[in-house]
Amino acid sequence: MAFDKMELRDIEVWDGNFAAAQALRQCQIDVVAAYPITPSTPIVEGYAKFLADNYVEGEFVMVESEHAAMSGCIGAAAAGGRVATATSSQGFALMVETLYQASGMRLPIVLNVVNRALAAPLNVNGDHSDMYLGRDSGWIQFDSYCPQDAYDLNFIAFRVAEDHDVRLPCMVHQDGFMTSHTAQGVHTMDDDTAYSFVGDFKPMNDMLDFEHPVTHGVQTEEDWHFEHKARQHNDLMTKVMPKIQAAFDDFKTLTGREYNIVERYDMDDADVCVVCMGTSVETAREVALEMRAKGIKAGVVGIRVVRPFPFFEIQEALKDVKAIAALDRSAPGGAPGMLFNEIAGCLFNTDTKALLSGYIYGLGGRDLTKKHLVDLFTELQANVDAGKVLTPLQQFIGVRGPKLQFL
Protein backbone atom coordinates (compact mmCIF):
# COMPACT_ATOMS: atom_id res chain seq x y z
CA MET A 1 0.00 0.00 0.00
CA ALA A 2 1.01 3.53 -0.61
CA PHE A 3 0.96 4.71 2.98
CA ASP A 4 3.15 4.04 6.00
CA LYS A 5 2.17 1.99 9.02
CA MET A 6 2.64 3.27 12.53
CA GLU A 7 4.20 1.34 15.37
CA LEU A 8 2.11 1.62 18.52
CA ARG A 9 2.86 0.43 22.02
CA ASP A 10 0.36 -2.03 23.54
CA ILE A 11 -0.75 0.70 25.92
CA GLU A 12 -0.53 4.30 24.79
CA VAL A 13 -1.41 7.25 27.01
CA TRP A 14 -3.93 9.03 24.80
CA ASP A 15 -6.76 11.44 25.38
CA GLY A 16 -10.14 10.66 23.83
CA ASN A 17 -9.58 12.93 20.86
CA PHE A 18 -6.26 11.38 19.90
CA ALA A 19 -7.69 7.91 20.42
CA ALA A 20 -10.49 8.74 17.95
CA ALA A 21 -8.00 10.26 15.47
CA GLN A 22 -5.87 7.11 15.64
CA ALA A 23 -8.99 5.01 14.97
CA LEU A 24 -9.78 7.12 11.88
CA ARG A 25 -6.22 6.56 10.67
CA GLN A 26 -6.39 2.83 11.24
CA CYS A 27 -9.77 2.60 9.46
CA GLN A 28 -8.16 4.39 6.47
CA ILE A 29 -10.88 6.98 5.99
CA ASP A 30 -11.17 8.12 2.37
CA VAL A 31 -12.66 11.55 3.05
CA VAL A 32 -12.86 13.82 6.08
CA ALA A 33 -14.69 17.10 5.47
CA ALA A 34 -14.41 19.14 8.64
CA TYR A 35 -14.77 22.48 10.34
CA PRO A 36 -13.04 23.07 13.69
CA ILE A 37 -14.83 23.53 17.01
CA THR A 38 -13.69 23.04 20.61
CA PRO A 39 -13.36 20.40 22.01
CA SER A 40 -13.56 18.10 18.94
CA THR A 41 -10.98 19.86 16.74
CA PRO A 42 -7.98 17.63 17.62
CA ILE A 43 -9.75 14.62 16.07
CA VAL A 44 -9.84 16.06 12.55
CA GLU A 45 -6.50 17.85 13.08
CA GLY A 46 -5.06 14.47 14.01
CA TYR A 47 -6.43 12.88 10.84
CA ALA A 48 -5.07 15.77 8.77
CA LYS A 49 -1.63 15.35 10.30
CA PHE A 50 -1.64 11.60 9.69
CA LEU A 51 -2.63 12.33 6.09
CA ALA A 52 0.14 14.91 5.66
CA ASP A 53 2.66 12.47 7.17
CA ASN A 54 1.57 9.72 4.75
CA TYR A 55 0.03 7.48 7.40
CA VAL A 56 -3.29 7.42 5.59
CA GLU A 57 -4.48 7.57 2.00
CA GLY A 58 -7.40 9.94 1.76
CA GLU A 59 -8.67 13.43 1.31
CA PHE A 60 -9.12 16.21 3.86
CA VAL A 61 -11.64 18.82 2.78
CA MET A 62 -11.59 22.15 4.60
CA VAL A 63 -15.01 23.73 4.44
CA GLU A 64 -16.66 26.94 5.62
CA SER A 65 -19.05 25.57 8.26
CA GLU A 66 -20.25 22.42 9.96
CA HIS A 67 -23.26 22.42 7.64
CA ALA A 68 -20.84 22.28 4.75
CA ALA A 69 -18.71 19.68 6.55
CA MET A 70 -21.56 17.21 6.81
CA SER A 71 -22.74 18.13 3.30
CA GLY A 72 -19.27 17.25 2.01
CA CYS A 73 -19.38 14.00 3.94
CA ILE A 74 -22.77 13.19 2.42
CA GLY A 75 -21.47 13.81 -1.09
CA ALA A 76 -18.37 11.72 -0.51
CA ALA A 77 -20.39 8.91 1.08
CA ALA A 78 -22.93 8.90 -1.75
CA ALA A 79 -20.01 8.79 -4.19
CA GLY A 80 -18.85 5.63 -2.43
CA GLY A 81 -16.14 6.45 0.13
CA ARG A 82 -15.47 5.64 3.76
CA VAL A 83 -16.22 8.96 5.41
CA ALA A 84 -15.93 10.49 8.88
CA THR A 85 -15.80 13.84 10.64
CA ALA A 86 -16.09 15.32 14.12
CA THR A 87 -17.91 18.18 15.77
CA SER A 88 -19.35 19.55 19.03
CA SER A 89 -22.08 21.77 20.38
CA GLN A 90 -22.98 24.72 18.12
CA GLY A 91 -21.24 22.99 15.23
CA PHE A 92 -23.41 19.96 15.80
CA ALA A 93 -26.47 22.22 15.94
CA LEU A 94 -25.53 23.75 12.59
CA MET A 95 -25.13 20.22 11.22
CA VAL A 96 -28.58 19.08 12.25
CA GLU A 97 -30.26 19.83 8.93
CA THR A 98 -27.77 17.63 7.12
CA LEU A 99 -27.84 14.87 9.76
CA TYR A 100 -31.36 14.02 8.66
CA GLN A 101 -30.20 14.00 5.02
CA ALA A 102 -27.39 11.57 5.82
CA SER A 103 -29.61 9.08 7.63
CA GLY A 104 -32.49 9.37 5.16
CA MET A 105 -30.05 8.76 2.30
CA ARG A 106 -28.74 5.74 4.24
CA LEU A 107 -25.10 6.83 4.08
CA PRO A 108 -22.68 5.10 6.49
CA ILE A 109 -20.87 8.19 7.79
CA VAL A 110 -19.22 8.13 11.24
CA LEU A 111 -19.47 11.38 13.19
CA ASN A 112 -17.40 11.77 16.34
CA VAL A 113 -19.38 14.04 18.63
CA VAL A 114 -17.34 15.44 21.49
CA ASN A 115 -20.21 16.41 23.74
CA ARG A 116 -20.36 20.05 24.77
CA ALA A 117 -22.98 22.39 26.16
CA LEU A 118 -25.15 24.48 23.85
CA ALA A 119 -25.07 28.29 24.21
CA ALA A 120 -26.33 30.62 25.57
CA PRO A 121 -24.43 31.27 27.79
CA LEU A 122 -21.39 30.36 25.70
CA ASN A 123 -19.57 27.39 27.23
CA VAL A 124 -16.96 25.02 25.80
CA ASN A 125 -17.29 22.33 28.46
CA GLY A 126 -18.97 19.00 28.39
CA ASP A 127 -22.61 18.13 28.79
CA HIS A 128 -24.98 16.04 26.70
CA SER A 129 -27.09 18.80 25.09
CA ASP A 130 -25.73 18.14 21.61
CA MET A 131 -26.11 14.37 21.97
CA TYR A 132 -29.75 14.86 22.95
CA LEU A 133 -30.29 17.24 20.04
CA GLY A 134 -29.36 14.44 17.64
CA ARG A 135 -31.47 11.71 19.13
CA ASP A 136 -34.36 11.86 16.63
CA SER A 137 -32.12 12.27 13.59
CA GLY A 138 -32.20 8.62 12.58
CA TRP A 139 -28.51 8.03 13.36
CA ILE A 140 -27.11 5.22 15.46
CA GLN A 141 -25.52 6.71 18.59
CA PHE A 142 -22.75 5.05 20.61
CA ASP A 143 -21.56 6.50 23.90
CA SER A 144 -18.00 6.34 25.29
CA TYR A 145 -17.16 6.56 28.97
CA CYS A 146 -13.36 6.94 28.61
CA PRO A 147 -10.67 7.29 25.89
CA GLN A 148 -10.47 3.51 25.45
CA ASP A 149 -14.16 3.43 24.49
CA ALA A 150 -13.72 6.37 22.10
CA TYR A 151 -11.03 4.37 20.29
CA ASP A 152 -12.86 1.03 20.23
CA LEU A 153 -16.33 2.33 19.38
CA ASN A 154 -15.07 4.00 16.21
CA PHE A 155 -14.17 0.61 14.75
CA ILE A 156 -17.48 -0.83 15.85
CA ALA A 157 -19.31 2.16 14.37
CA PHE A 158 -17.78 1.65 10.92
CA ARG A 159 -18.48 -2.07 11.04
CA VAL A 160 -22.16 -1.51 11.85
CA ALA A 161 -22.76 1.56 9.67
CA GLU A 162 -21.29 0.02 6.52
CA ASP A 163 -23.15 -3.29 6.84
CA HIS A 164 -25.40 -3.49 3.78
CA ASP A 165 -28.34 -4.55 5.94
CA VAL A 166 -27.87 -1.41 8.06
CA ARG A 167 -26.44 1.43 5.96
CA LEU A 168 -27.12 4.06 8.60
CA PRO A 169 -24.74 6.73 9.87
CA CYS A 170 -23.27 6.40 13.36
CA MET A 171 -22.27 8.93 15.98
CA VAL A 172 -19.58 8.08 18.50
CA HIS A 173 -20.02 10.30 21.53
CA GLN A 174 -17.43 11.20 24.14
CA ASP A 175 -17.60 13.74 26.96
CA GLY A 176 -15.96 17.05 26.11
CA PHE A 177 -12.72 17.49 28.11
CA MET A 178 -13.63 14.76 30.63
CA THR A 179 -12.85 12.18 27.92
CA SER A 180 -11.62 14.21 24.95
CA HIS A 181 -8.82 15.99 26.82
CA THR A 182 -8.19 13.41 29.56
CA ALA A 183 -5.20 11.19 28.87
CA GLN A 184 -5.47 7.63 30.08
CA GLY A 185 -3.99 4.31 29.14
CA VAL A 186 -5.51 3.00 25.89
CA HIS A 187 -4.96 -0.58 24.75
CA THR A 188 -4.18 -0.37 21.06
CA MET A 189 -4.51 -2.68 18.09
CA ASP A 190 -1.76 -2.86 15.51
CA ASP A 191 -2.67 -1.32 12.15
CA ASP A 192 -3.35 -4.59 10.34
CA THR A 193 -5.52 -6.03 13.11
CA ALA A 194 -7.48 -2.80 13.41
CA TYR A 195 -8.08 -2.57 9.66
CA SER A 196 -9.07 -6.21 9.45
CA PHE A 197 -11.92 -5.57 11.88
CA VAL A 198 -13.55 -2.97 9.62
CA GLY A 199 -12.34 -4.49 6.34
CA ASP A 200 -12.34 -2.90 2.90
CA PHE A 201 -15.18 -0.51 2.23
CA LYS A 202 -17.96 -2.21 0.28
CA PRO A 203 -19.80 0.38 -1.78
CA MET A 204 -23.57 0.27 -2.26
CA ASN A 205 -25.50 2.36 -4.79
CA ASP A 206 -22.43 4.57 -5.14
CA MET A 207 -22.55 7.42 -7.61
CA LEU A 208 -19.12 6.49 -8.98
CA ASP A 209 -20.57 3.22 -10.31
CA PHE A 210 -21.12 4.51 -13.87
CA GLU A 211 -22.67 1.26 -15.07
CA HIS A 212 -25.53 1.65 -12.58
CA PRO A 213 -26.41 5.34 -12.48
CA VAL A 214 -28.43 6.44 -9.45
CA THR A 215 -30.04 9.65 -8.34
CA HIS A 216 -29.38 10.33 -4.62
CA GLY A 217 -31.44 12.68 -2.47
CA VAL A 218 -34.68 12.48 -4.43
CA GLN A 219 -37.84 14.35 -3.53
CA THR A 220 -41.02 12.68 -2.36
CA GLU A 221 -44.08 14.41 -1.03
CA GLU A 222 -47.10 13.09 0.79
CA ASP A 223 -47.07 10.19 -1.69
CA TRP A 224 -43.90 8.31 -0.60
CA HIS A 225 -42.17 10.19 2.25
CA PHE A 226 -43.94 8.21 4.98
CA GLU A 227 -42.93 4.86 3.47
CA HIS A 228 -39.28 5.91 3.36
CA LYS A 229 -39.30 7.06 7.00
CA ALA A 230 -41.16 3.90 7.99
CA ARG A 231 -38.49 1.77 6.31
CA GLN A 232 -35.72 3.66 8.08
CA HIS A 233 -37.43 3.29 11.46
CA ASN A 234 -38.11 -0.39 10.82
CA ASP A 235 -34.45 -1.00 10.10
CA LEU A 236 -33.39 0.92 13.22
CA MET A 237 -35.83 -1.07 15.33
CA THR A 238 -35.20 -4.54 13.90
CA LYS A 239 -31.89 -4.76 12.08
CA VAL A 240 -29.43 -2.58 13.95
CA MET A 241 -29.26 -4.12 17.43
CA PRO A 242 -28.39 -7.66 16.21
CA LYS A 243 -25.63 -6.18 14.04
CA ILE A 244 -24.29 -4.13 16.96
CA GLN A 245 -24.29 -7.21 19.19
CA ALA A 246 -22.46 -9.20 16.50
CA ALA A 247 -19.87 -6.43 16.18
CA PHE A 248 -19.43 -6.33 19.97
CA ASP A 249 -19.00 -10.12 20.01
CA ASP A 250 -16.42 -10.08 17.21
CA PHE A 251 -14.59 -7.20 18.86
CA LYS A 252 -14.38 -9.13 22.11
CA THR A 253 -12.99 -12.15 20.28
CA LEU A 254 -10.39 -9.93 18.63
CA THR A 255 -9.34 -7.77 21.59
CA GLY A 256 -10.82 -9.26 24.76
CA ARG A 257 -12.63 -6.01 25.43
CA GLU A 258 -16.35 -6.43 26.05
CA TYR A 259 -19.07 -3.94 25.16
CA ASN A 260 -22.80 -4.36 25.73
CA ILE A 261 -25.79 -2.50 24.36
CA VAL A 262 -26.66 -1.69 27.97
CA GLU A 263 -23.78 -1.96 30.43
CA ARG A 264 -24.67 -3.42 33.83
CA TYR A 265 -22.34 -3.03 36.79
CA ASP A 266 -23.07 -4.72 40.12
CA MET A 267 -26.71 -5.07 39.07
CA ASP A 268 -27.25 -8.77 39.88
CA ASP A 269 -28.45 -8.12 43.45
CA ALA A 270 -28.77 -4.33 43.39
CA ASP A 271 -31.55 -2.61 45.33
CA VAL A 272 -30.73 0.87 44.03
CA CYS A 273 -29.12 2.00 40.80
CA VAL A 274 -28.32 5.01 38.68
CA VAL A 275 -28.74 5.04 34.91
CA CYS A 276 -26.43 7.48 33.17
CA MET A 277 -24.07 8.08 30.26
CA GLY A 278 -20.52 9.24 29.58
CA THR A 279 -17.78 9.54 32.17
CA SER A 280 -20.43 9.63 34.92
CA VAL A 281 -20.94 5.89 34.43
CA GLU A 282 -17.40 5.17 35.61
CA THR A 283 -17.49 7.59 38.52
CA ALA A 284 -20.82 6.08 39.59
CA ARG A 285 -19.35 2.57 39.38
CA GLU A 286 -16.62 3.57 41.79
CA VAL A 287 -19.14 5.12 44.18
CA ALA A 288 -21.48 2.09 43.91
CA LEU A 289 -18.64 -0.13 45.13
CA GLU A 290 -18.04 2.22 48.04
CA MET A 291 -21.79 2.20 48.87
CA ARG A 292 -21.74 -1.58 49.02
CA ALA A 293 -19.01 -1.35 51.67
CA LYS A 294 -21.49 0.82 53.60
CA GLY A 295 -24.27 -1.75 53.24
CA ILE A 296 -26.27 -0.20 50.40
CA LYS A 297 -26.61 -2.60 47.49
CA ALA A 298 -25.88 -0.15 44.70
CA GLY A 299 -25.47 -0.76 40.99
CA VAL A 300 -24.96 1.23 37.80
CA VAL A 301 -26.54 0.93 34.38
CA GLY A 302 -24.70 2.66 31.55
CA ILE A 303 -26.34 3.34 28.21
CA ARG A 304 -23.87 2.26 25.51
CA VAL A 305 -26.25 2.51 22.55
CA VAL A 306 -28.38 5.64 22.87
CA ARG A 307 -30.12 5.19 19.52
CA PRO A 308 -31.74 2.93 18.64
CA PHE A 309 -32.93 3.07 22.23
CA PRO A 310 -32.34 -0.28 23.99
CA PHE A 311 -35.94 -0.69 25.18
CA PHE A 312 -35.88 -4.38 26.03
CA GLU A 313 -32.31 -4.37 27.33
CA ILE A 314 -33.25 -1.59 29.77
CA GLN A 315 -36.35 -3.50 30.86
CA GLU A 316 -34.19 -6.53 31.52
CA ALA A 317 -31.47 -4.59 33.33
CA LEU A 318 -33.94 -2.85 35.65
CA LYS A 319 -36.48 -5.60 36.27
CA ASP A 320 -35.37 -6.52 39.79
CA VAL A 321 -34.09 -3.22 41.14
CA LYS A 322 -36.15 -1.31 43.72
CA ALA A 323 -35.19 2.30 43.09
CA ILE A 324 -33.78 3.90 39.95
CA ALA A 325 -32.27 7.32 39.37
CA ALA A 326 -32.24 8.55 35.77
CA LEU A 327 -29.37 11.04 35.35
CA ASP A 328 -29.73 13.52 32.50
CA ARG A 329 -26.82 15.83 31.63
CA SER A 330 -28.89 18.13 29.42
CA ALA A 331 -31.30 20.95 30.26
CA PRO A 332 -34.66 19.32 29.66
CA GLY A 333 -36.36 22.56 28.58
CA GLY A 334 -39.61 22.24 30.45
CA ALA A 335 -39.97 18.46 30.64
CA PRO A 336 -38.64 15.50 32.56
CA GLY A 337 -35.18 14.43 31.38
CA MET A 338 -34.87 12.22 28.29
CA LEU A 339 -33.57 9.21 30.22
CA PHE A 340 -36.33 9.58 32.82
CA ASN A 341 -38.95 9.54 30.08
CA GLU A 342 -37.39 6.69 28.11
CA ILE A 343 -36.95 4.53 31.20
CA ALA A 344 -40.49 5.26 32.36
CA GLY A 345 -41.66 4.21 28.88
CA CYS A 346 -39.68 0.96 29.12
CA LEU A 347 -41.00 0.02 32.55
CA PHE A 348 -44.63 1.05 32.11
CA ASN A 349 -46.80 -2.01 31.39
CA THR A 350 -44.28 -4.29 33.12
CA ASP A 351 -44.57 -5.94 36.54
CA THR A 352 -41.88 -3.79 38.13
CA LYS A 353 -42.69 -1.80 41.24
CA ALA A 354 -39.43 0.13 40.96
CA LEU A 355 -39.38 3.73 42.15
CA LEU A 356 -38.09 6.06 39.43
CA SER A 357 -36.74 9.54 40.03
CA GLY A 358 -34.90 11.90 37.71
CA TYR A 359 -31.84 14.09 38.27
CA ILE A 360 -30.45 16.89 36.11
CA TYR A 361 -26.72 17.35 36.64
CA GLY A 362 -23.43 18.53 35.20
CA LEU A 363 -24.66 21.21 32.78
CA GLY A 364 -21.86 23.15 31.11
CA GLY A 365 -19.25 20.78 32.55
CA ARG A 366 -20.27 21.26 36.20
CA ASP A 367 -18.43 18.59 38.17
CA LEU A 368 -20.34 15.47 39.22
CA THR A 369 -18.49 14.62 42.43
CA LYS A 370 -18.38 11.33 44.25
CA LYS A 371 -20.10 13.11 47.16
CA HIS A 372 -23.06 13.95 44.90
CA LEU A 373 -23.37 10.29 44.02
CA VAL A 374 -23.05 9.13 47.63
CA ASP A 375 -25.95 11.44 48.53
CA LEU A 376 -27.91 10.21 45.54
CA PHE A 377 -27.53 6.52 46.37
CA THR A 378 -28.42 7.31 49.99
CA GLU A 379 -31.57 9.11 48.81
CA LEU A 380 -32.53 6.12 46.65
CA GLN A 381 -32.10 3.76 49.60
CA ALA A 382 -34.38 6.02 51.66
CA ASN A 383 -36.98 5.71 48.90
CA VAL A 384 -36.67 1.93 49.05
CA ASP A 385 -37.02 1.93 52.85
CA ALA A 386 -40.12 4.15 52.67
CA GLY A 387 -41.64 2.25 49.78
CA LYS A 388 -42.23 5.47 47.84
CA VAL A 389 -40.33 8.32 46.22
CA LEU A 390 -39.79 10.81 49.04
CA THR A 391 -38.58 13.63 46.81
CA PRO A 392 -40.05 15.42 43.80
CA LEU A 393 -39.46 13.41 40.61
CA GLN A 394 -37.01 15.91 39.14
CA GLN A 395 -34.11 17.32 41.16
CA PHE A 396 -31.08 19.38 40.17
CA ILE A 397 -27.67 18.28 41.46
CA GLY A 398 -24.81 20.69 42.09
CA VAL A 399 -26.53 23.97 41.20
CA ARG A 400 -26.14 27.08 43.40
CA GLY A 401 -29.08 28.55 45.27
CA PRO A 402 -32.18 27.08 46.89
CA LYS A 403 -32.83 23.40 46.20
CA LEU A 404 -34.30 23.15 42.70
CA GLN A 405 -36.87 20.42 42.24
CA PHE A 406 -40.06 19.84 40.28
CA LEU A 407 -42.82 17.36 39.56
Partner 1 sequence: MLEIRWHSRAGQGAVTGAKGLADVISTTGKHVQAFAFYGSAKRGAAMTAYNRVDEEIIMNHEKYMEPDYVFVIDPALVYTSDVTINGKEDTKYIITTHMSTDELIASQPKLKGKEVYTVDCIKIAQETIGRPIPNTPMLGAFMKISGMYDIEFFKESMVRILGKLPQKIIDANMIAIQRAYDEVK
Partner 2 sequence: MANTGWDEFEIGAMLRTFEGSIDDIAGTLQEDRKYTENSSFSASVADWRIEKPIFAKDYCIDCQFCWIYCPDISIISRDKKMIGIDMDHCKGCGICVEVCPTNPKSLLMFPEQADEETEIAQWPAKETKEK
Chain contacts with partner 2 (rule: CB under 8 A): 104-107, 167, 205, 210-218, 220, 226-228, 230-232, 234-235
3-class secondary structure, 112: strand
| H/E element, 267 | none
Please state the length of the chain: 407
Angle between helices 225-238 and 89-104 (to 10 degrees): 100
Number of chain residues interacting with partner 1 (CB under 8 A): 28
| H/E element, 149 | helix 147-162
Report which of 116, 168, 176, 114 is spatially closest to residue 137, judged by C-alpha positions.
168
CA angle at 225 for the pair 219 and 231, rounded to the nearest 5°: 120
Do residues 374 and 287 make contact, with C-beta atoms less than 8 angstroms apart?
yes
Q: For the CB of residue 156, give the shortest distance to partner 2 in the complex, in Å.
A: 21
- The DSSP-derived string for 89-107 is HHHHHHHHHHHHHHHHTT-
Angle between helices 370-386 and 279-293 (to 10 degrees): 60
405 binds, among partner 1, partner 2, none (CB under 5 to 8 A by kind): none
283 binds partner 1 per the rule CB under 8 A: yes
Q: For the CB of residue 379, give the shortest distance to partner 2 in the complex, in Å.
A: 46
105 binds, among partner 1, partner 2, none (CB under 5 to 8 A by kind): partner 2
> Within 109-128, which residues bind partner 1 (CB under 8 A)?
122, 124-125
**134/138 with CB nearer partner 2:** 138
Where does this chain touch partner 1 (CB under 8 A) — which range of 41-49, 70-78, 104-112, 369-377? 369-377
260 binds partner 1 per the rule CB under 8 A: no
Q: For the CB of residue 283, give the shortest distance to partner 2 in the complex, in Å.
A: 40
214 binds, among partner 1, partner 2, none (CB under 5 to 8 A by kind): partner 2
Q: For the CB of residue 93, give the shortest distance to partner 2 in the complex, in Å.
A: 23
**100/396 with CB nearer partner 2:** 100
Do residues 119 and 252 make contact, with C-beta atoms less than 8 angstroms apart?
no
Q: Where are the alpha helices (DSSP H) in 294-353?
A: 311-318, 338-347
How far CA 293 is from CA of 29, 72, 285, 290, 298, in Å, comes to 47, 53, 13, 5, 10
367 binds partner 1 per the rule CB under 8 A: yes
> Within 9-48, which residues bind partner 1 (CB under 8 A)?
9, 11, 13, 15, 38
177 binds, among partner 1, partner 2, none (CB under 5 to 8 A by kind): partner 1
Asked if the bond preceding 242 is cis, omega within 30° of 0, the reply is: no
227 binds, among partner 2, partner 1, none (CB under 5 to 8 A by kind): partner 2
**230/399 with CB nearer partner 2:** 230
Write out the residues near partner 1 by the rule CB under 8 A: 9, 11, 13, 15, 38, 122, 124-125, 146, 175, 177-178, 181-185, 279-280, 282-283, 285-286, 367-371
